[in-house]
Structure 1
Amino acid sequence: MHAFAALLDSLIYTRGRNAKLKLIADYLLATPDPDRGWAMAALTGDLDLKGVKPALIRALIEERVDPVLFRMSRDYVGDTAETVALLWPAPVVPVDPEPLSITQVVDRLRHLSRTEAPAMLATMLDRSDAEERFALLKMATGALRIGVSARLAKTAFADAFGLDVEAVEEVWHGLSAPYPELFAWATGTGAQPTVADVPVFRPFMLAHGLEDARVDLADYAAEWKWDGIRVQIVHVAGQTRLYSRTGDDVTGSFPDVAAAFAETGAVDGELLVKGDAQGGEAASFNALQQRLGRKMVSAKMLADYPAFVRLYDILVDGDEDLRALKWTERRARLEAFVPRLDPDRFDISQVIDAADFTALEGIRAGSRDAAIEGVMLKRRDSPYTGGRRAGLWYKWKRDPLTADCVMMYAQRGSGRRSSYYSDYTFGCWTEEGELLPVGKAYSGITDEELRQLDKFVRNHTTGRFGPVREVEKTLVLEIAFDSIHTSTRHKSGVAMRFPRIARIRLDKPAAEADRIATLQNLIT
């Protein structure tokens, strides 16, 4: 664990991408199997130790130190793992001095039940120094948050062994940690893993924002950008898997979709939920959220929120890889492929018929469908390439909605914002004059605005509830959001999609902030 702890510590304090790549690559070259495989699983988010949850860690530390001291320290530090690592007391009874390895940690924790995990985790923490405890807790909870994406970790792996990162990404999700086949291939002691019999994930093609540019529709096709979650569906050798944009396997959350896809191939589309059990139109993202993140889906959930996929592209048809073809050729193949699928579960995203870009602007401006997020512009001769490539695909999100809201509560952020009150809950007025929360935001502001809002919170606090501060209801924030939906979970009855702070309205009295009825009129 010591070497892995040193790696995490170095990554936290390293800013440059190339420097981070070298740190990870050097670690992988110097570390034996299977430790380096488990380290890669931790760095890429593929390590799941189900017996260890944040509540367990909080319970362990509060048994050993004053709970008030822990909570105050956590509030100041902004990270549970770091706080516990620093506060954990030396054991009263001497413990085994032999250092722990990553493999020992994983082997002992991944098969434990939640009742067995506390004693084992406590023993490991007793055997570790502060740096090792930090690494152990980060790894155990699966929330490293050290500025390293899964893609960057895979790039570092490829750099370390002189491999093509796209070839690594191609087979990654068909393999299991600690990836013995991958390291055997990397070190020249084994063959390259293939995709012939495994439904592997292929990197999504992504888009740049359109900004203020205009394109010629003779060169670009326009499609709606649907407001669901992007998925890739792969069927090979009798197996079907659904992958999210980040490559996570979400098949378990959508067994109905997986069961309906039995054609050998791989497609790219938007996972949506139908507006009602009999209709075919897409419901808002709020309906889809009822299905997200569930490892077990009940029959009632399947019936109440039937999922379907609106297809954008086809990557593989049978055993033929189509990604090198032009978009126009792939589109023709997709249109021939879709009729072979269950029409209740799959349809195709239609191309928008617009004479020119000016006409497209009018069509986009007039659309407020709850399931439409904007417009995609795809170069007609573009191949399907992983990642973002300049000039090929653009996303043109519709203009955000805005509302003037009153700050109600604030909470400290995490990471570099842990010293500031940077997470704000805001509300709007009922017709009776009651202020009810309608959302929470922490993005959209500059560092100077952050300091300004932090100062307001500290000088206008009226109540304290653990880490939360209630403030005087006098400051208006203009909130931008993509859409708004009915919500039974919130007392206000509404929920915003992607709220962020557009500006601080020092010029506007709180009494003149928007009413909830105004927000309800924006629901589509």
Structure 2
Amino acid sequence: RWALLKLVTGSLRVGVSARLAWQAAADYGGVDVPDIQEVWHGQEPPYRDMLAWLDGKGERPQVEAYGRFRPVMLAHPIDEATEMPRLDSADFVAEWKWDGIRIQAVAEGDIRRLYSRTGEDISHAFPDLVEAMDFQGVIDGELIVLHDGQMGSFSDLQQRLNRKTVDAKRMNAYPAGIRAYDLLAEGEEDTRALPFYERRARMEAFIAAVHSSRIDISPLVEIESWDQLAELRASPPAGDARLAEGFMLKRRDSVYEAGRPKGPWFKWKRDPMLVDAVLMYAQRGHGKRSSFYSDFTFGVWTTDETGQRVLTPVGKAYFGFTDEELKQLDKFVRNNTTDRFGPVRAVTATTEFGLVLEVAFEGLQRSTRHKSGVAMRFPRINRIRWDKPAGEADKLSALEQILAAIEVG
């Protein structure tokens, strides 16, 4: 059936992501993916110069292409207990870790492109933002919705994501913007080898000269001590900071190094929100998990129109547990199935009997697509509460209180 549909529609080609091609080339040549990313956009099919280099029969191709993607620098999660005591806070600056999508804005010559963190060209989905890129250089930053200098929520940004085209009404309602973190090139000068404090000073002047309502700069948060920063992280001030996920910590002298080097940059996310929910449905996994029920839908208690306590689904999670815990969860699903819907099984979930899952999540937003009226951001199973009665799991009102606190800021 699939083959016939391909023949009828004339769409025989199966797409391959740029990331997969980069990884294949890197594995073939025994080099790192950032090395491939640096030269990729300067090559033309069939990539003779690059393949000769990977075969050891030629020099590394020169990097000349305008509009090319630069491999991004990433941060390590910081271990508060072991790493923070060894780090001098005076060596670092902090920035809020904004809840958007990491992007790279490249404007060189007459070429203007927006890239995702993995190097996918997403320019077509944000024509309003590409039009605002009236500069010559490369900005590393966060893709956000920006209303008159105020950042929109991640749910606002989702109205613009994963769309092949976008109409004027949606662009006006959810204007895309860039919150700049770093300056990777100014004009034809590559600035990545400069220390962070120099790149930062140049970026501030650069963004000021661009003077666009679509592009602003991520403010620095001075660190008096780790304790002071911990208090700020736990209780951010009103305004855009309430939409941040935590802090980025950057050494003042760090160069911009592709990949995830250990030491220069750290991310210090807020502690996740937690809720106790009851397992309601389970679905078979994929790949090596295809023989296990590993995708779990969970719910919390509410009251129906007759006054009875019922569960309403609030999320789905498929990670956060060990392989041994997966076997235990799979066994529970098989032993307590009450109904089947194709690959999905419903399990016993009453006030008297059910499995409670402690679910961690990064954010909460209102949703018209879910019966509960709420949607979780990045839910995962934090703990399996074999000890807790299902009737003592949380109520929907608990999530509504969290949501109200988020909205108030």
Asked if the contact 2:93–2:222 (Cα under 8 Å) also holds between the matched residues in 1, the reply is no
Relative to structure 2, which stretch is displaced further, 352-361 or 324-333?
352-361
Could you give the per-residue CA deviations for residues 192-216 of structure 1, whole angstroms, max 9, x where no partner exists?
6555442001110111110122132
In 1, the alpha carbon distance for the partners of 2:42 and 2:329 equals: 47
Match of 1:222 in 2: 94
1:343-362 → structure 2 map (5 Å cutoff) = 343-362=212-231
Task: Give the AA of the match of 2:178.
Answer: V
Does the residue aligned with 1:248 lie in a helix, a strand or coil?
coil
In 2, the alpha carbon distance for the partners of 1:318 and 1:283 equals: 30
Task: Give the AA of the match of 2:2.
Answer: I
Does the residue aligned with 2:263 lie in a helix, a strand or coil?
coil
Match of 2:2 in 1: 57
Matched, 1:248 2:117: no
1:8-157 → structure 2 map (5 Å cutoff) = 57=2, 115-117=9-11, 140=14, 142=16, 152-157=23-28
Match of 1:19 in 2: none
Distance 1:184 1:149, change over 3 A: closer
In 1, the alpha carbon distance for the partners of 2:359 and 2:25 equals: 37
Match of 1:441 in 2: 317
In 2, the alpha carbon distance for the partners of 1:443 and 1:310 equals: 31
Could you give the per-residue CA deviations for residues 305-352 of structure 1, whole angstroms, max 9, x where no partner exists?
111111000000000111110000000010110012243211111111
Task: Give the AA of the match of 1:170.
Answer: E
1:160-175 → structure 2 map (5 Å cutoff) = 166-173=34-41, 175=43
In 2, the alpha carbon distance for the partners of 1:320 and 1:194 equals: 15
Could you give the per-residue CA deviations for residues 266-297 of structure 1, whole angstroms, max 9, x where no partner exists?
110011113xx4x4222222221221111111
Match of 1:312 in 2: 181
Asked if the contact 1:174–1:199 (Cα under 8 Å) also holds between the matched residues in 2, the reply is no
Matched, 1:325 2:194: yes
Asked if the contact 2:283–2:295 (Cα under 8 Å) also holds between the matched residues in 1, the reply is yes
Matched, 1:262 2:262: no
Distance 1:142 1:186, change over 3 A: closer
How far is 1:250 from its partner? 0.9
Does the residue aligned with 2:368 lie in a helix, a strand or coil?
coil
Q: 2:382 aligns with which of 499, 502, 513?
A: 502
In 2, the alpha carbon distance for the partners of 1:480 and 1:311 equals: 29
Asked if the contact 2:362–2:379 (Cα under 8 Å) also holds between the matched residues in 1, the reply is yes
In 2, the alpha carbon distance for the partners of 1:332 and 1:381 equals: 13
Could you give the per-residue CA deviations for residues 97-121 of structure 1, whole angstroms, max 9, x where no partner exists?
xxxxxxxxxxxx8xx8x6234xxx6
Match of 2:396 in 1: 516
Match of 2:156 in 1: 287
How far is 1:504 from its partner? 0.9
Asked if the contact 1:283–1:370 (Cα under 8 Å) also holds between the matched residues in 2, the reply is no
How far is 1:442 from its partner? 0.7
Matched, 1:490 2:370: yes
Identity among equivalent pairs (%): 52
Match of 1:158 in 2: 29
Asked if the contact 1:410–1:422 (Cα under 8 Å) also holds between the matched residues in 2, the reply is yes
Q: Which runs of 5+ in 2 are unaligned?
A: none
Asked if the contact 2:23–2:33 (Cα under 8 Å) also holds between the matched residues in 1, the reply is no
In 2, the alpha carbon distance for the partners of 1:425 and 1:183 equals: 47
Asked if the contact 1:261–1:342 (Cα under 8 Å) also holds between the matched residues in 2, the reply is no
Match of 1:377 in 2: 249
TM-score (norm 1): 0.69
Asked if the contact 1:314–1:334 (Cα under 8 Å) also holds between the matched residues in 2, the reply is yes
How far is 1:166 from its partner? 4.3
Match of 2:287 in 1: 415
In 2, the alpha carbon distance for the partners of 1:174 and 1:485 equals: 42
Distance 1:227 1:154, change over 3 A: farther
In 1, the alpha carbon distance for the partners of 2:279 and 2:261 equals: 40
Match of 1:395 in 2: 267
Asked if the contact 2:29–2:55 (Cα under 8 Å) also holds between the matched residues in 1, the reply is no
Could you give the per-residue CA deviations for residues 355-409 of structure 1, whole angstroms, max 9, x where no partner exists?
1111111111112855211101101111000001111100111100000111111
How far is 1:256 from its partner? 1.2
How far is 1:443 from its partner? 0.5
Asked if the contact 2:236–2:242 (Cα under 8 Å) also holds between the matched residues in 1, the reply is no
Could you give the per-residue CA deviations for residues 109-161 of structure 1, whole angstroms, max 9, x where no partner exists?
8xx8x6234xxx6xxxxxxxxxxxxxxxxx826489xxx965542322433xx
Asked if the contact 2:105–2:113 (Cα under 8 Å) also holds between the matched residues in 1, the reply is yes
How far is 1:435 from its partner? 1.6
Q: 1:476 aligns with which of 356, 361, 376?
A: 356
Instruction: Provide the alpha-carbon RMSD of the alignment.
Output: 2.6
In 1, the alpha carbon distance for the partners of 2:153 and 2:60 equals: 43
Task: Give the AA of the match of 1:323.
Answer: R
Matched, 1:209 2:77: yes
Asked if the contact 2:93–2:223 (Cα under 8 Å) also holds between the matched residues in 1, the reply is no
How far is 1:171 from its partner? 2.7
Match of 2:342 in 1: 466
In 2, the alpha carbon distance for the partners of 1:167 and 1:141 equals: 23
How far is 1:190 from its partner? 8.9
Match of 2:66 in 1: 198
Match of 1:367 in 2: 236
Larger strand proportion, structure 1 or 2?
Answer: 2
In 1, the alpha carbon distance for the partners of 2:401 and 2:173 equals: 25
Task: Give the AA of the match of 1:421.
Answer: Y
Asked if the contact 1:430–1:516 (Cα under 8 Å) also holds between the matched residues in 2, the reply is yes
Does the residue aligned with 2:294 lie in a helix, a strand or coil?
strand
In 1, the alpha carbon distance for the partners of 2:54 and 2:95 equals: 40
In 1, the alpha carbon distance for the partners of 2:222 and 2:254 equals: 19
Relative to structure 2, which stretch is displaced further, 450-459 or 359-368?
359-368
Task: Give the AA of the match of 2:51.
Answer: F
Does the residue aligned with 1:218 lie in a helix, a strand or coil?
helix
1:425-436 → structure 2 map (5 Å cutoff) = 425-432=297-304, 433-436=309-312
How far is 1:424 from its partner? 0.4
Does the residue aligned with 1:443 lie in a helix, a strand or coil?
coil
Task: Give the AA of the match of 2:344.
Answer: V
Q: 1:300 aligns with which of 153, 156, 169?
A: 169
Asked if the contact 2:74–2:265 (Cα under 8 Å) also holds between the matched residues in 1, the reply is yes
Asked if the contact 1:413–1:421 (Cα under 8 Å) also holds between the matched residues in 2, the reply is yes
Could you give the per-residue CA deviations for residues 46-95 of structure 1, whole angstroms, max 9, x where no partner exists?
xxxxxxxxxx62987xxxxxxxxxxxxxxxxxxxxxxxxxxxxxxxxxxx
